[in-house]
Amino acid sequence: MDIQEYIAKTHNGNDKWFVEEVSMPYHQQRIKDILDKKDYLSGQHAILNRGTEQYNGKLYEPRKIVLQYSKTILNFQTSYLLKNPVSLTGNEDIVAEFKKVYKKGKYNKIDFDILDSIVKYGNAYEYIYVEDGVIKSKLIASEDSYPVYNYKNELIAFIEYYVADYSDYYTVYYDDRVETYTNAGTGEDEFYLLEYKKNVSGLPICYKNVNELDSRFGRSDLDDFIGILDNMEDILSKFADSFYKHHNPIPVVTGQQLKGDGLPNHIVGGGIVLDDGSDFKMVSNQLDYQSFETIYKTLKQALLDVSNTPAVSLNNTDVSNLSEVSMKLLFQLADIKAGLNERYVREGMERRFEVIAKLLSKMGIVIDGEAFDSLDIVFQYSRPTNEKDIIENLKALSEIGAISIESILENSPYTKDVAQEMERLSGQSESEFKKVNNKSMNIEDKNEETFERKEVAV
């Protein structure tokens, strides 16, 4: 089913079908969930909805402690995979062309933003286009994105909808064109074509993670641990209230209290006078901090486990003098999560490479099919490593001839761009060869000159 059949069957052939499509309940529910996630990340947590309480006959405003662990965890997941830019490997010519595209289009930043959107909202959408001879990408905000799928879950169109200056704007992406409609300056339901462009790159690329309930859209990682964070904020806020009330004890007098003003204020600052055998004390609540500590630590450990975050990353573990193997074990969960995120990003990147190769061909740059198949991506995780051990291992493999120079560079902690480093080494090898030849010639000349002097002396 193509988009025309979809419009005919679903929207009865309405030429403004995109307005009805955006208003569909499942789209509205998905967008509401994304907006709720944005509010949560901005600090609008459930703990802030606590109402006022009565204490000692007065209104008391309870503590509302907000823990922004969610932003820290999500930023860690994104940075762990893409803090170091990806490296392109494969045929030298194809890598050189794609490196130019990456640099001009600032794709390293785009890759980071894509993964950031995936972990926060479950989806990311990228549209590739050409502007002034430069291949660029536009990231469409998740809350403005309405992909259209047919019954086979095939993407057949894409709608970008947003409101600006009290007017609605609909950008509709087809396979061959992009149309923008708006009602600016007209009635609420009177839409007109604002802009029309040819589409040479196809539909936007959809990035998503795994969602067991819907194969078309991803699922935010926040859904896994928002409940744990809400409980941590609740117990911490209530314990803070208990601590405040603990410092407001109730005075209790046992027995007869004598009449009078008590002790003079200028002697001891004030006091009371009790009859013989009477007692006075301040009664307060007893704080069970051990129970609070146990519950809070349990919740925090559950938060780290569910989010695949190493405890050492949130200063939850004291480490010192760890070996390379021990460090890998500490970050094993983070490696597993990074591997999943790598798969989601890689799927979209492979589609991006196909689009870029198509655009390069239209721009007169011939892309060989076999060379294109060799193109690959190398991700460099931000795991703390013992660089000395890595270099010694690479050196040992190189000495026995069990690894190539390119593989050494790919695994070296000091190499950011493998292809560029290979070019530098190639140029350096030629210059070193010339230096060795010149040095050898100088030595031979000196030897001949010394030999001639010896002959003259004889």
pLDDT tens readout for residues 212-269: 988 899 999 999 999 999 999 999 998 888 877 766 667 777 777 666 555 555 555 5
* Helical axes 92-105 vs 107-121, angle rounded to 10°: 70
Instruction: State how far Cα 124 lies from the chain centre.
Output: 11
How far is CA 156 from its chain centroid? 28
Decide if 11 contacts 20 (C-beta within 8 A). yes
Q: Give the pair of three-digit tokens for residue 111.
A: 């890759």
Q: Is residue 76 within 8 Å of residue 313, measured between CB atoms?
A: yes
Local structure of 253: helix, strand or coil: strand
pTM assigned to the model: 0.80
Residue 324 near residue 393, CB atoms below 8 Å:
no
Residue 34 has what pLDDT? 95
Q: What is the pLDDT of residues 294-314, one digit of tens each?
A: 999 999 999 998 998 888 777
- Would you give the DSSP letter of residue 274? B
pLDDT tens for 352-378 read 999 999 999 998 888 888 888 889 998
387 pLDDT higher than 90: no
CB-based contacts of 115, cutoff 8 Å, min separation 6: 77, 78, 81, 82, 124, 341, 344, 345
∠ CA 332-336-340, nearest 5°, is 165
Rounded (10°) CA dihedral 72, 111, 29, 172: 160
Instruction: Report pLDDT digits (tens) over 19-44.
Output: 999 999 999 999 999 999 999 999 99
Q: Is residue 374 within 8 Å of 90, Cβ to Cβ?
A: yes
> 32, exposed or middle or buried, with CB in 10 Å at 0-12, 13-18, 19+?
exposed
pLDDT of residue 451: 41
**Facing residues of 363 across strands?**
none
Say how far apart CA 199 and CA 178 lie, in whole Å: 6
Q: DSSP class of residue 436?
A: H
Q: Which residue has the tokens 């061909």?
A: 361
CB neighbours of residue 221 within 10 Å: 24
3-state SS assignment for residue 249 = coil
